[in-house]
Amino acid sequence: MSAAYASPPADEIAAVTLTDAAVEEAEFSQRVLIRSIIGRSDGGAGLSGATVRVGGWVKTGREQGKGSFAFLELNDGSCPANLQVIVDAAVAPLAQLVATGTCVHVEGLLKVPPEGTKQKIELRVQKVLDIGAVDPAKYPLPKTRLTLEFLRDYVHLRPRTNTISAIARIRNALAYATHTFFQKHGFLYIHTPIITTSDCEGAGEMFQVTTLINDAEKLETELIKNPPPSEADVEAAKLLVTEKGEAVAQLKSAKESKGKISAAVAELTKAKENFSKLEERFKLEPGIPKKDGKIDYSRDFFARQAFLTVSGQLQVETFACALSSVYTFGPTFRAEHSHTSRHLAEFWMVEPEIAFADIEDDMKCAEAYVKFLCQWLLDNCLDDMEFMVKNFDKSAIDRLRMVASTDFVRLSYTEAVAILEEASKERQFENKVEWGIDLASEHERYLTEVKFQSPVIVYNYPKGIKAFYMKVNADNKTVAAMDVLVPKVGELIGGSQREERYEVIKERILEMGLPLEPYEWYLDLRRYGTVKHSGFGLGFERMILFATGLENIRDVIPFPRYPGRADL
């Protein structure tokens, strides 16, 4: 075999031109994407004879033919597959190239490999342009199979692994599909704020945004460096002001020259300035400013309490109540202390909001959107999905197919509880089922995975367990809420028709023990030109979990944040 890989004769190289076989260089970087070579329907074979530059990181490398040449499996992230690269010892020092993790930028000739190899094309290197070397003794990600838990300690290097890079491509595809879906249906993309003063879910799970702590720390350091004046210093400064004032008065009554008087006035001004500076510093108190025993937020950056948003819904509603169909897609934050495989402290949410739409329209939109996402992955990410099937979840592709083509089951909360009560005769749920409870993850998963084996939309929840903004139904017991439950994940989407009646929503806010003041602007949307409207939030990482079949949400976001961890 080694003979077949001998360096090509010089005349063969010279004969190669970049004519018909040419493959285009990436527009903004000095190489051809590996995907544009091996992602072709012929696996790249038709490009044989082309000279190309490629760059990437070595997945595996080995010297062969008694060190006369080396095989490198090169990956540049453009697709899951690697390009096989062959480097002759005459071209570069092979030992520097073969370590896993090494970055190489090379130029060479694409050739169809000898019969019997699995590759359709390989690159014979003629020139090594750059090497980013790796010391294999120190590189934290050796070639051996690494667990996802282990990789969480290396969030800065884990994108180089097959799994994390496949997830990154799937995540990117889902983001693109999201914009495509909503743009196609005439929704406007609205950027809602990350810092907010209203608690959308009213659940008190918000991270606070404040500069009071930094300010207090700065002041403390400052006071140590430059201690405050004593009371005696302040008194002395005050006395000096009196003296200087008297001096000015005397000069004036003695009708002294203008020059003398203005010199004395200048001294008085200086004394006053000095006094007020000392007095101000004297009043400085270390620690966080308080008023009536409570933290004085009027001294905070925004002159009031502020938080990281838990949802862009309330703000995006302002645009829905003016521009009709809108959506927001951004990071959201929840200080939940839940150490589950389905919760993050920072996650991304897709939130459409539609005017002139009721709960039925909302459910239709949610179903169409989820189906669109599944079909998109089947159409655009099949190679990465195959990787998931092979390594993580045999049913991942079947699940996408099923969801893309099956009507979602719809049942009211009351029906869902009846089904669960029936089921609990035969199986033990950890959480007791009765009308009025918030469905637990085990209940949701029973409905979608066991009972229906399909996505399920549960609607009309008891009002006591849902947020204040949801439309109260005619029964006055339930609200027009809906959750989309999917196998593997449970709750993927939470949404509702919004309460558009001023009096009713005001009552609901008070009923829930929330203060009215922060929601006055929200109430304005009902006071003036109110409109029937609905929306939902899809947990973007939950969607990726569902698609990939991965077990832990911490592995599907580039930089996971959860209790005790916020790396980088």
Q: Which residues bind ligand 4AD (CB under 6 A)?
A: 200-201, 311, 313, 334, 336, 343-344, 347, 349, 351, 491-495, 535-537, 539, 541-542
Q: What is the total residue count of the chain? A: 568
Distance CA 211, CA 163 (A): 39
Q: How far is the CB of 314 from ligand 4AD (least distance, A)?
A: 8
The site partner of 313 among Mg ion, ligand 4AD, none (C-beta below 5 to 8 Å per kind) is ligand 4AD
Q: Name the minimum Å distance from CB 320 to ligand 4AD.
A: 10
With contacts defined by CB under 5 A, name the span among 26-34, 282-290, 364-372, 488-496 that binds Mg ion: 488-496
DSSP 8-state secondary structure symbol assigned to residue 519 = G
Nearer to Mg ion, 35 or 334 (CB): 334
Nearer to ligand 4AD, 69 or 347 (CB): 347
Strand extents, DSSP E, 99-228: 103-111, 122-132, 188-189, 195-196, 208-209
Rg (Cα) of the chain, in Å, rounded? 33
Is 324 or 473 the residue whose CB approaches Mg ion more closely?
473
User: Of 463, 451, 369, which is closest to residue 415 (Cα–Cα)?
Assistant: 451
Local structure of residue 449 (DSSP, 8 states)? I
Q: Does 494 bind Mg ion (CB under 5 A)?
A: yes
| Shorter beta-carbon distance to Mg ion: residue 330 or 494 | 494
| CB 410, CB 447: distance < 8 Å | no
| Residue 537 interface partner, choices Mg ion, ligand 4AD, none, CB cut-off 5-8 Å depending on type | ligand 4AD
> CB of residue 549 vs ligand 4AD: minimum separation in angstroms?
17
63 SS3 class: strand
Which conformational region is residue 377 in: left (phi greater than 0), alpha (psi within -120 to 50 degrees), or beta?
alpha
Q: Cβ(288)–Cβ(213) under 8 Å?
A: yes
For position 560 contacting Mg ion by CB under 5 A, the verdict is no
Site for Mg ion in 216-275 (CB under 5 A): none
**Residue 525: CB atoms within 10 Å:** 21
Q: Alpha carbon of 168 to those of 113, 182, 348, 416: distances in Å?
A: 31, 21, 14, 36
Shortest Cβ 202–ligand 4AD spacing (Å):
10
Q: Is-contact 377 385, C-beta < 8 A?
A: yes
**In the complex, least distance from residue 488 CB atom to Mg ion, rounded to whole angstroms:** 17
Q: Site mask, Mg ion, residues 4-33, x = CB under 5 A?
A: ------------------------------
Query: In whole angstroms, how close is the CB of 49 to ligand 4AD at the nearest point?
Result: 50
- For ligand 4AD, the closer of residues 281 and 532 by Cβ is 532
Q: In sequence order, which residues have a C-beta less than 8 Å from that of residue 249 and are 6 or more positions away? A: none
For residue 124, give the 3-state DSSP assignment: strand
Residue 171's binding partner among ligand 4AD, Mg ion, none (Cβ under 5 to 8 angstroms by kind) is none
Please report, as ranges, the residues that interact with Mg ion according to CB under 5 A.
494
